Amino acid sequence: MSLRLCCRPSFCGFNNKRDLLSSDLAANQLNNPMGKWFSGVKKFIPFKGYVKLVQTTARISFPTISSDIKDKAPSDLLSHKKAVPYSDPPRMEDVESLYQFFDKSTKLIVLTGAGMSTESGIPDYRSPNGAYSTGFKPITHQEFLRSTKARRRYWARSYAGWRRFTAAQPSTGHIALSSLEKAGHISFMITQNVDRLHHRAGSNPLELHGTVYIVACTNCGFSLPRDLFQDQVKAHNPKWAEAIESLDYDSRSDKSFGMKQRPDGDIEIDEKFWEEDFYIPDCQRCQGVLKPDVVFFGDNVPKAKADAAMEAAKGCDAFLVLGSSLMTMSAFRLVKAAHEAGAATAIVNIGATRADDLVPLKISARVGEILPRLLNVGSLSIPSL
């Protein structure tokens, strides 16, 4: 379908800005460059020193989504209401402020947090709808290492939830951030997230807290891809794995294997099905303990990563936080260091953050709703390919 816009944007056929943004998602799921969404725009000129919309005519086309692409892309920003905290659509003045922040910087560092991933349906910990609100307590590094039972519980639940976890798709925020990065508006990106959605959107950030896509030995350091580890778990536990893969999550019969779906997408597994018979593969080199290559609670960020992130923070002229409450010291110390080094600092996040008293520009908005609006503004405009 197409819309004809004249003078001030009047989004006919849409009830509000979010309805329009949901159409943006359709374009994302077809992997269309964002610059292709708009065609026939006659003129843009700056306002208030930056961007002003004048009377113009534009035709905006939104492609339809075929059934096979819908099947491949189950992630929908507006369908994850439980994962994403409520926020009003971003105001024009917020878009302008964020545009100015980008436009004035020459060496911009971006730090992203769980608020990016919630828009893809992956729950966070600390938001009002996060895992902590349900009483969930994540495993600690110390508990994982000392307790065989804890490791069995962790890997059983993680194996069961892997298929759903990897089905998540990059959001409009991930896609927009990648577009800005490729256009040279971002010098370096750091993420607290372990889901590699940034990579799937085309970015290559420093993974401050590691990634669940790699499994590593805690003894010798040998590592292997997570998919290979999943295959090993399946080979050692064939009947258990078969029950997982054919699971009717709502079943109360024996076929349910004592499992039921949790509201946040994890799989809750009856203890009797993993406490005794569930086998965890050992390191193939030294028979050591294997764990996901992530920084669990109670552990420290590897020194090389911490040093690289700190060096980037101290050397930038602007530091932008997207979707993070900055409650972990490993993240907070970076924005604090950038601020103390004289860099401009800003945060886009729903809810309070640890650096609210430190950062002069704080915008309460969904990252996936505000970033795409920068792609057709002034010097940040991303040309059609």
> How far apart are alpha carbons 228 and 90 in whole angstroms?
42
The DSSP symbol for 279 reads P
Structure tokens, 353: 């953050």
Query: In degrees to the nearest 10, what's the CA dihedral of 289, 160, 324, 171?
Result: 130
Give me the pLDDT at residue 75, please: 39
Mean pLDDT of the region 338-365: 96
Can you say whether the dihedral through the CA atoms of 200, 205, 209, 211 is positive or negative? positive
pTM of the shown model: 0.73
Mean pLDDT of the region 127-142: 60
Give catalytic status of residue 209 as yes or no. yes
pLDDT above 70 for 42:
no
**Top-confidence range, 40-44, 49-53, 109-113, 166-170:** 109-113
Q: What is the pLDDT of residues 334-351, one digit of tens each?
A: 999 999 999 999 999 998
pLDDT above 50 for 74:
no
Q: What is the pLDDT of residues 248-282, one digit of tens each?
A: 544 444 444 455 434 233 455 666 555 567 899 99
Can you say whether the dihedral through the CA atoms of 171, 205, 210, 308 is positive or negative? negative
Is residue 131 within 8 A of residue 84, CB to CB? The reply is no
> How far apart are alpha carbons 273 and 156 in whole angstroms?
9
The DSSP symbol for 211 reads E
Q: What is the pLDDT of residues 172-226, one digit of tens each?
A: 999 999 999 999 999 999 999 999 999 999 999 999 999 999 999 999 999 999 9
Lay out the sheet containing 318-322: strands in order across.
206-207, 188-191, 108-112, 318-322, 344-348, 361-363
Catalytic entry in 80, 174, 198, 209: 209
Helical packing angle, 148-166 and 226-236, nearest 10°: 120
The DSSP symbol for 358 reads T
Report which secondary-structure segment, H or E, holds 165: helix 148-166
**Strand stretches in the chain, DSSP E:** 2-6, 38-39, 57-61, 108-112, 188-191, 206-207, 210-217, 223-225, 259-261, 267-269, 290-294, 318-322, 344-348, 361-363
Give me the pLDDT at residue 137, please: 67
Structure tokens, 263: 């509201």
Mean pLDDT of the region 352-359: 95
pLDDT above 80 for 45:
no
